[in-house]
Structure 1
Amino acid sequence: MRFMSIVKSSEEHRMSAPPQALMNAVGKLGDELTRAGVMVGMGGLLPSSMGGFRVRQQGRKLAITDGPFTEAKELIGGFAIFEVASRDEAMELAIRFMELHLEHWPDWEGETEVRQMFEGDGCADAAAVPEASQQALRQPHSC
């Protein structure tokens, strides 16, 4: 089962650099999980004010909005993709990650949202998705 872990915090927290001790601890955890074959990928994101933009479909048109996105309470600051055996294992990894924040950046406020990734026929809601969409979602970029 694949899960995506999405780290969210306010834009003001994204403007300050995380403590080096946190970065070292997250790097160590990432190395450990990659060697174990659990971590598929991870990355951090710059603040939306640093080159961020949104493309929105509305009224049959596309609109582009440049960052910063001040109307958003929380923005995605990073992500990780895990290949694990269960939801419980994904939860354990998210807790380990957040515990590093408690230890190395106790004044930080944010959350990690964890979502199971769609994996074609293995997903419980696959029947609710039209067949053409299921075929598109089975492509390597989706699973």
Structure 2
Amino acid sequence: MPRYLTMVRVDENDAPDGGPSEELMQRMGALIEEMTKAGVLLDTAGLTPTAQGKRVHYAKGEISVTDGPFTESKEVVGGYAIIQAKDEAEVLEWTKRFLRVHGEEWNVTSEIREIAEG
């Protein structure tokens, strides 16, 4: 079965104050448990804010490192999941459920990419 990487994109400047609520975390935990029991969720995690990150760029033989936050970025990857599904339609349904868990106070986008095998 193919594996897919879903990257959860958020606008750090538009996220609710205080981050995810306890209720959101409970709903997220229940969905993660369901996905794990269904055998489709291989890995998932949230990421720290860009203020705690670094970007490493390579161009013309030179390496440069930029400390976060990355103000030029409107949306950043805030988390990810690796899902093993029978097809793209199945991973799309799981992703829609994941986004709905967030509630109306969040603006969240998820990019789905199949992981290239061999």
TM-score, scaled relative to structure 2: 0.92
Matched, 1:78 2:76: no
Provide the C-alpha distance between the structure 1 equivalents of 2:114 and 2:16, rounded to a whole number of angstroms: 25
2:41 to 39, 42, 56: 39
Q: Superposition pairs for residues 44-123 of structure 1, below 5 Å?
A: 44-49=46-51, 51-102=52-103, 106-120=104-118
Provide the C-alpha distance between the structure 1 equivalents of 2:97 and 2:81, rounded to a whole number of angstroms: 13
Aligned length in residues: 116
Provide the C-alpha distance between the structure 1 equivalents of 2:12 and 2:58, rounded to a whole number of angstroms: 24
Q: Which has the larger radius of gyration?
A: 1
Provide the C-alpha distance between the structure 1 equivalents of 2:116 and 2:26, rounded to a whole number of angstroms: 31
Structure 1, unaligned stretches of length 5 or more? 121-143
Provide the C-alpha distance between the structure 2 equivalents of 1:15 and 1:78, rounded to a whole number of angstroms: 18
TM-score, scaled relative to structure 1: 0.77
Q: Is the 8 A contact 2:16 2:105 kept in 1?
A: no
State the 1:15 CA deviation. 6.8
State the 1:24 CA deviation. 1.0
Which of the pair is proportionally richer in helix? 1
Provide the C-alpha distance between the structure 2 equivalents of 1:112 and 1:21, rounded to a whole number of angstroms: 21
Structure 2, unaligned stretches of length 5 or more? none
1:28 to 24, 27, 30: 30
